[in-house]
Amino acid sequence: MEKFAVIVAGGSGIRMGSSTPKQFLLLNGKPVLWHTINTFLEAYDDMRVILVLPNQYVDTGAAMVAMTADPGRIAITTGGETRFHSVKNGLALVPDNAIVFVHDAVRCLISASLIQRCYLQAIDKGNAVPAINAVDSMRIIKAEVNEPIDRNRLRIIQTPQTFHSKILLPAYKIDYKDKFTDEATVAEAFGLKIHLIEGEEGNIKITRPVDLTVAEGMINPVPVSPPRDEAPVK
């Protein structure tokens, strides 16, 4: 089945403290976005990428696309007012009978393995939404009161949120609502059941300077030297 990755790259550099949008910041000598795209291209030989960019960064994106493993498999379109509208613009280039992955551009450490597992589950169940366990203690705020919540019942949602296009394309024809924070919430509003799949701890989202530092460390781990034998104390 045809495979399309809609990579949404509409972020800014505000929380990074940079005038450069975070997707274009350098990670290991290449733009963050470059790492994301190349992993999708490597996951499947027939994967096609639809890159959704702010209008003012289309030329920058095109120059970056030329640096990737296979520029011929990448198309560029422009984003909209919200993530919902940007994804909708990207989906306009997806055919009716395909598996579509919607992914955050700044989740640049995603593995080909996760992409492939999402594809297989979407073929089987219609969709696959990666999620990982919450490990921190959580509290929920109600008015001026806060109370603990059972973290074992919580999941942290990641991307790529993966759907059969026959499901996702009609879902994105409904009217926009503020609660639409990702593709799963849109699909649920359309009446679909969401199927979670195990995500990856390393599938982090680059939003703050520390995230870029962590990502650099994950790409270039510092080798740990074996402990040296110490001379016995006399």
Alpha-carbon span 158 to 35, nearest angstrom: 17
Residue (of 176, 27, 2) closest to 93 by Cα position: 2
Q: Which residues contact 158 (CB under 8 A, 6 or more apart)?
A: 107, 130, 131, 132, 199, 200, 203
Give domain status of residue 105, yes or no: yes
Range of the domain at 82: 2-219
Give domain status of residue 234, yes or no: no
Give domain status of residue 224, yes or no: no
Give me the pLDDT at residue 144, please: 86
Give domain status of residue 126, yes or no: yes
What is the SS3 string spanning 178-201? CCCCCHHHHHHHCCCCCCEEECCC
Cβ atoms of 28 and 216 within 8 Å: the answer is: yes
Give domain status of residue 233, yes or no: no
Give domain status of residue 204, yes or no: yes
pLDDT score of 18 more than 70: no
Mean pLDDT across the stretch 116-128? 98
Report the amino acid identity of residue 43: A
Write out pLDDT tens, residues 186-226: 999 999 999 999 999 999 999 999 999 999 999 988 676 66
Write out pLDDT tens, residues 30-58: 999 999 999 999 999 999 999 999 999 99
CATH number of the structural domain spanning residue 204:
3.90.550.10
Q: Give the three-class secondary structure for 59.
A: helix
Give domain status of residue 122, yes or no: yes
Give domain status of residue 228, yes or no: no
Which residue has tokens 């989740």? 107
Cβ atoms of 165 and 100 within 8 Å: the answer is: yes
Considering its fold, how many domains does the chain have in total? 1
pTM value is 0.91
Residue (of 199, 205, 8) closest to 100 by Cα position: 8
